[in-house]
């Protein structure tokens, strides 16, 4: 706890969910697809250091696909031509490498399937019962496929994915724009919307906007890392938020360890 003055409680009318790593354990599938791409690519080029999961969290996690490719390559001092999204997976361009990763991800999804996190489904059920609006805001171009594979395809009227962002030229995470767009599509002000994210780039996106609360979900990035990049609250399972979101929430002061969810006096639409 701190003695810092608390801002007035925000009434929450919408919750904006990242997908991979928040609703479904697909961040891990993305991680493996990126590892397959970059282990091979860096190895063939003789580039060091070898690719590790730390690279995933530092340069790739949560970002639009081609931004992730560019960012990782830059960390090894490599700049490739941008190419075009229609490039084949064999092309040595930013888009070609990104498309290789996507093909690998699609293969893993098709062969292994995906089940939503039970705690996340419990929260979706809870929010639906209480009439809280919900959207998925994902950098992935595969978001609708993943939602369908996980049996969540009919849960969200608004899905802001990588394809929507590209179509409307909306800046990707860590910019707040895709989350703000999701809130707007639901007809809810950002100030009355909660962002739920597992990636550093995603909590940065939430913190850069005018949202009621940024919830970090620690699936490996680390609670302290998520807090230091803008998460107001960190949980390890969304079931911890059942009965909490959508009522009046006092946003905790930065640096406070109070989860700020005790004030349930407010109402929600």
Q: Tokens in use for 7?
A: 């801002």
Closer residue to Mg ion, CB minimum distance, 91 or 141: 141
Is residue 18 part of the annotated active site? The answer reads yes
145 is an interface residue for Mg ion by CB under 5 A: no
Residue 112 beta carbon to Mg ion: minimum distance, rounded to whole angstroms? 18
By CB atoms closer than 10 A (0-12, 13-18, 19+), residue 119 is: middle
* Furthest C-alpha separation in the chain: 60
Q: Which residues contact 148 (CB under 8 A, 6 or more apart)?
A: none
Backbone angles phi, psi at 22, to 5 degrees: -110, -55
104 is an interface residue for Mg ion by CB under 5 A: no
CA-CA-CA-CA dihedral for 121, 127, 130, 133, to nearest 10: -130
Candidate ranges 47-55, 100-108, 193-201, 206-214; the one touching Mg ion (CB under 5 A) = 193-201
Question: How are beta strands 133-137 and 193-197 bridged, if at all?
Answer: unpaired
Choice from 10, 12, 15, 18 touching Mg ion (CB under 5 A): 18
Closer residue to Mg ion, CB minimum distance, 199 or 235: 199
Residue list 194-213, contact with Mg ion (CB under 5 A): 198-199
**Contact of 34 with 101, CB cutoff 8 Å:** yes
Is residue 263 part of the annotated active site? The answer reads no
Choice from 10, 16, 21, 127 touching Mg ion (CB under 5 A): 21
Residue 172 beta carbon to Mg ion: minimum distance, rounded to whole angstroms? 12
Residue 80 beta carbon to Mg ion: minimum distance, rounded to whole angstroms? 25
Cβ atoms < 10 Å from Cβ of 234: 22
- Return d(Cα 267, Cα 269) in angstroms, integer: 7
Closer residue to Mg ion, CB minimum distance, 14 or 199: 199
Element (H, E) at 53: helix 53-55
- What is the x/- site pattern for Mg ion, positions 23-62, by CB under 5 A? ---------------------------------------x
20 is an interface residue for Mg ion by CB under 5 A: yes
**Contact positions vs Mg ion (CB under 5 A):** 18, 20-21, 62, 198-199
- Residues with active-site annotation: 18, 20
């Amino acid at each position: 706890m701190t003695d810092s003055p608390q801002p007035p409680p925000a009434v929450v009318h919408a919750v904006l969910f990242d997908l991979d790593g928040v609703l479904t354990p697909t961040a891990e599938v993305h991680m493996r697809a990126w590892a397959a791409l970059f282990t091979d690519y860096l190895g063939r080029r003789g580039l060091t250091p070898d690719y590790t999961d730390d690279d995933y969290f530092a340069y790739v996690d949560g970002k639009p696909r081609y931004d992730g490719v560019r960012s990782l390559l830059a960390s090894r001092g490599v700049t490739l031509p941008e190419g075009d999204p229609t490039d084949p997976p064999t092309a040595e361009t930013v888009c070609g490498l990104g498309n290789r990763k996507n093909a690998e991800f699609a293969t893993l999804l098709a062969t292994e399937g995906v089940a939503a996190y039970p705690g996340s489904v419990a929260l979706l059920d809870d929010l639906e019962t209480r009439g809280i609006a919900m959207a998925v805001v994902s950098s992935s171009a595969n978001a609708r496929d993943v939602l369908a594979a996980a049996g969540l395809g009919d849960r969200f009227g608004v899905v802001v994915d990588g394809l929507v962002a590209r179509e409307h030229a909306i800046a990707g995470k860590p910019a707040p724009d895709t989350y703000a767009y999701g809130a707007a599509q639901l007809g809810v002000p950002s100030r009355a919307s909660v962002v739920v994210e597992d990636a550093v780039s995603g909590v940065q996106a939430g913190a850069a906007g005018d949202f009621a609360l940024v919830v970090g979900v620690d699936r490996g990035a680390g609670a302290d890392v998520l807090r230091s990049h803008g998460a107001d609250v960190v949980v390890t399972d969304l079931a911890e938020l059942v009965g909490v979101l959508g009522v009046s929430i006092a946003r905790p002061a930065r640096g406070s360890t109070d989860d700020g969810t005790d004030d349930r006096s407010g109402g929600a639409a």
